[in-house]
């Protein structure tokens, strides 16, 4: 009997459902799988064949991707991001149905998480005590968001960080050594997919000009013992502070003994012979004899001066003049000691200066004297064998009433700063700060300010002084001289001030002071700020930097900034000459009176000063 042929009529593929899972092959990140399912055909065929094509291609019915008798299959090795088209055919023997309904599928491209980018901000340079912000706000995540921050310190003096889990963290810069210190930090950021990134930054902490850890009113940058409130200097560098050291110049003679006999306790003068008797100072100490009194020495005659009438008014920088020097045993005139006081018994001194150059004429420096005040003065001569004459008679004078500071704010009227300035860059108008006084300079056309740094002082007055008032013109002052007067809570104490400039001074600039005996000298107890817009200096009442030369609770300091070349780096006064003479001579003198060339070079200099002062007074 003949067999009836099998007719495949309309394989029902009305629904092809996708059960789709994308699997990444361990060997390839672009392979994906797809599972196809379809309805069974009725009548049931021998099996099914699955065909596939890509966009723009035709089906290859000779090469099915899958063949079997089930109504579902999983195809592997599909390329992510490529669109595929699928049809199913039922077959029975050599018979094959038409295509089912065509379906398509595009495997999604697998997205790999991108790690975030951490940014801890640029390196910073700050001063100790400054508030510092660590800034991680520039951190980012290209395919998501930053989920967390973590700041950690990785190096330097340990500090406490606030906001370690925030984009911005803060801390206070610690106290550091003179050379400064670098603190290092790391920032770890984590994105919303759990990936992390780390960045680092450095904060360089500089020593502040005003930091005073031990509270002795000497900033650490100038303090040889920054953690000892009882010490700040070590003259002989032996590791023992000058206050505790009984021999500050290490010359074998105790400071007390040297001071008692008028020797210098800060200079090694052991091998010198103060009284010229052939016995050195050290030998005198060891024998416990007087090092400054030779039995053969006769002291100079008492200086003569003429009194000034009480109703005669003078300016604030008068020249004191004595009569000629005379020594019975012909010793040369070595020094003269000048004293000024507001008391006729000299119980309180305004000035006490011993000079080797201003021997018979002494010009009082700027800012030593006050207006409308009666002053008494006297002088005595000292010969080359340290023989001291008797004090001269006491003379007096009255300073004129104030005419240049009508508002009594401590700044001359013509040097007042009219516009708002903030020289110390603290966000406060300098005119509103009690401990800072800004002035217009008479030279350099700039603004400078003086600030009282240590808490034991009151800044009384500030003044810009023309450098022409100094006879030695070998050093060019950038802003002229800056003078200031301080009142101290304690007699003999140290005081620290900062001078601010409205412009930056160059690296070669230094702070200079002028001394009539030694000429121009670099003031060593000073430190310039990193930005070269200020200098901090420490002075001692009656000692280093104090113009009046006496511990009286007042410090007067005129100094200036100069930039000098190698040809004038070491300068001294060459315009002064001693008016010392041998034996003989005598005669009277007077205070601010007619002076002739016969009195010598020093007197001629004094006369030139006097002419300038008289022009200013009148």
Residue range 461-484: mean pLDDT, rounded: 87
**Contacts for 516 with CB less than 8 Å, ≥ 6 apart:** 355, 357, 358, 573, 576
- Kindly report which listed range (27-41, 262-276, 457-471, 478-492) carries the lowest average pLDDT score: 27-41
Same domain membership, residue 546 and residue 446: yes
pLDDT digits (tens, 9 = 90+) for 154-200: 999 999 999 999 999 999 999 998 889 999 999 999 999 999 999 99
Domains held by the chain: number: 4
pLDDT digits (tens, 9 = 90+) for 545-574: 888 888 998 988 888 898 754 344 344 333
Same domain membership, residue 84 and residue 144: no
pLDDT digits (tens, 9 = 90+) for 232-287: 899 899 999 999 999 999 999 999 999 999 999 999 999 999 888 889 999 999 99
Predicted pLDDT at 582: 38
Boundary of a domain, candidates 349, 376, 399 = 399
- Beta strands 168-172 and 146-155, pairing class: unpaired
Same domain membership, residue 151 and residue 59: no
Q: What is the pTM of this model?
A: 0.55
- State the Cα–Cα distance between residues 358 and 17, nearest whole angstrom: 115
Q: Quick check: is 609 in a domain? A: no
Q: Quick check: is 340 in a domain? A: yes
**What letter does residue 6 receive in the DSSP assignment?**
P
To the nearest 10°, report the CA torsion of 561, 483, 529, 550: 110
Same domain membership, residue 448 and residue 551: yes
pLDDT digits (tens, 9 = 90+) for 128-145: 989 999 999 999 999 899
pLDDT digits (tens, 9 = 90+) for 423-467: 888 889 988 888 899 999 998 778 999 999 888 899 998 999 988
Q: Quick check: is 409 in a domain? A: no
Predicted pLDDT at 31: 65
Same domain membership, residue 540 and residue 441: yes
Same domain membership, residue 556 and residue 437: yes
**Percentage of residues of the chain with pLDDT beyond 70:** 85
Domain region containing 489: 430-562
Q: Is the pLDDT of residue 522 over 80?
A: yes
Cis omega (within 30 of 0) for bond into 72:
no
Same domain membership, residue 140 and residue 71: no
Token pair recorded at residue 495: 């005081």
The dihedral built from the CA positions of residue 547, 550, 556 and 560, taken in this order, carries a sign that is positive
Identify which of 188, 204, 103, 192 has the alpha carbon closest to the alpha carbon of residue 155.
204
Q: Quick check: is 605 in a domain? A: no
Q: Quick check: is 334 in a domain? A: yes
Same domain membership, residue 356 and residue 474: no
- State the Cα–Cα distance between residues 579 and 358, nearest whole angstrom: 8
The dihedral built from the CA positions of residue 311, 313, 316 and 321, taken in this order, carries a sign that is negative
Same domain membership, residue 393 and residue 309: yes
Boundary of a domain, candidates 377, 399, 421 = 399
Residue range 360-384: mean pLDDT, rounded: 91
Better pLDDT: 483 or 15:
483
pLDDT band at residue 4 under the 50/70/90 scheme: very low
Residue range 482-504: mean pLDDT, rounded: 91
Q: How many Cα atoms within 13 Å fall on the side-chain side of residue 456?
A: 22
- State the Cα–Cα distance between residues 570 and 437, nearest whole angstrom: 32
Question: Quick count: other Cβ atoms within 10 Å of Cβ 362?
Answer: 25
Identify which of 336, 276, 268 has the alpha carbon closest to the alpha carbon of residue 305.
336
Average pLDDT, the chain: 82
Same domain membership, residue 535 and residue 460: yes
**Contacts for 453 with CB less than 8 Å, ≥ 6 apart:** 209, 210, 219, 496, 497, 498, 536
Q: Quick check: is 335 in a domain? A: yes
The backbone region for 276, taken as left when phi is positive above 0, alpha when psi lies in -120 to 50, beta otherwise, is left
- Kindly report which listed range (382-396, 541-555, 569-583) carries the lowest average pLDDT score: 569-583
Token pair recorded at residue 550: 């006496």
Predicted pLDDT at 295: 66
- Kindly report which listed range (3-17, 233-247, 342-356) carries the lowest average pLDDT score: 3-17
Q: Quick check: is 494 in a domain? A: yes
CATH of the domain at 87: 2.60.40.10
Q: Quick check: is 299 in a domain? A: no
Same domain membership, residue 137 and residue 98: no
Continuous segment of H or E residues that includes residue 518: none
Same domain membership, residue 555 and residue 469: yes
Q: Is the pLDDT of residue 27 over 60?
A: no
The backbone region for 69, taken as left when phi is positive above 0, alpha when psi lies in -120 to 50, beta otherwise, is alpha
Q: Is the pLDDT of residue 292 over 90?
A: no
- State the Cα–Cα distance between residues 1 and 614, nearest whole angstrom: 156
């Amino acid at each position: 009997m003949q067999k009836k042929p099998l007719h495949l009529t309309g394989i029902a593929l009305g629904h092809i459902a996708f059960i789709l899972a994308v699997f990444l092959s361990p060997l390839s990140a672009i392979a994906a799988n797809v599972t196809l399912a379809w309805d069974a055909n009725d009548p049931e065929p021998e099996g099914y064949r699955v065909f596939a094509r890509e966009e723009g291609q035709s089906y290859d019915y000779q090469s099915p991707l899958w063949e079997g008798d089930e109504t579902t299959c999983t195809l592997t090795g599909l390329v992510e991001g490529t669109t595929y088209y699928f049809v199913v055919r039922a077959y029975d023997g050599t018979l094959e149905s038409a295509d089912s309904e065509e379906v398509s599928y595009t495997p999604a491209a697998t997205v790999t998480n991108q790690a975030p980018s951490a940014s801890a901000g640029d390196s910073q340079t700050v001063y100790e005590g400054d508030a510092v912000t660590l800034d991680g706000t520039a951190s980012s995540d290209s395919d998501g968001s930053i989920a967390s921050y973590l700041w950690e310190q990785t190096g330097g003096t340990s500090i406490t960080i606030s906001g370690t889990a925030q984009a911005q963290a803060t801390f206070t810069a610690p106290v550091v050594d003179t050379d400064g210190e670098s603190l290092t930090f790391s920032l770890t950021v984590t994105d919303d997919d759990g990936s992390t990134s780390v960045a680092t930054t450095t904060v360089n902490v500089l020593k502040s000009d005003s930091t005073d850890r031990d509270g002795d009113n000497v900033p650490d940058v100038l303090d040889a013992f920054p953690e000892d409130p009882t010490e700040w200097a070590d003259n002989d560098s032996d590791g023992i502070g000058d206050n505790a050291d009984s021999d500050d110049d290490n010359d074998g003679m105790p400071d007390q003994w040297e001071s008692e006999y008028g020797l210098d306790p800060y200079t090694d003068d052991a091998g010198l012979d103060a009284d010229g008797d052939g016995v050195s100072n050290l030998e005198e100490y060891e024998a416990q004899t007087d090092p400054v009194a030779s039995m053969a020495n006769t002291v100079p005659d008492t200086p003569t001066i003429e009194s000034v009438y009480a109703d005669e008014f003078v300016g604030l920088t008068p020249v004191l003049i004595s009569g000629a020097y005379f020594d019975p045993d012909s010793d040369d005139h070595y020094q003269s000691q000048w004293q000024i006081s507001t008391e006729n018994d000299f119980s309180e001194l305004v000035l006490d200066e011993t000079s080797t150059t201003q021997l018979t004429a002494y010009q009082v420096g700027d800012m030593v004297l006050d207006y409308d005040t009666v002053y008494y003065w006297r002088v005595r001569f000292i010969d080359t064998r340290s023989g001291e004459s008797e004090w001269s008679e006491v003379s007096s004078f009255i300073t004129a009433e104030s005419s240049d500071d009508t508002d009594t704010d401590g700044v001359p009227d013509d040097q007042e700063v009219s516009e708002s300035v903030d020289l110390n860059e603290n966000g406060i108008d300098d005119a509103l700060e009690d401990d800072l006084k800004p002035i217009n300079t008479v030279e350099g056309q700039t603004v400078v300010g003086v600030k009282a740094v240590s808490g034991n002082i009151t800044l009384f007055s500030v003044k810009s002084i023309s450098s022409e008032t100094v006879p030695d013109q070998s050093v060019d002052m950038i802003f002229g001289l800056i003078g200031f007067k301080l009142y101290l809570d304690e007699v003999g104490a140290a005081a620290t001030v900062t001078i601010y400039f409205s412009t930056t001074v160059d690296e070669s600039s230094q702070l200079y002071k002028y001394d009539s005996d030694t000429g121009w000298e670099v003031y060593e107890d000073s430190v310039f700020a990193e930005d070269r817009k200020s200098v901090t200096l420490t002075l001692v009442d009656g000692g280093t930097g104090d113009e009046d030369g006496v511990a009286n609770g007042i410090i007067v300091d005129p100094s200036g900034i100069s930039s000098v070349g190698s040809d004038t780096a070491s300068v001294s006064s060459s315009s002064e000459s001693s008016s010392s003479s041998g034996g003989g001579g005598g005669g009277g003198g007077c205070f601010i009176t007619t002076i002739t060339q016969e009195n010598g070079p020093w007197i001629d200099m004094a006369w030139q000063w006097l002419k300038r002062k008289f022009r200013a007074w009148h």
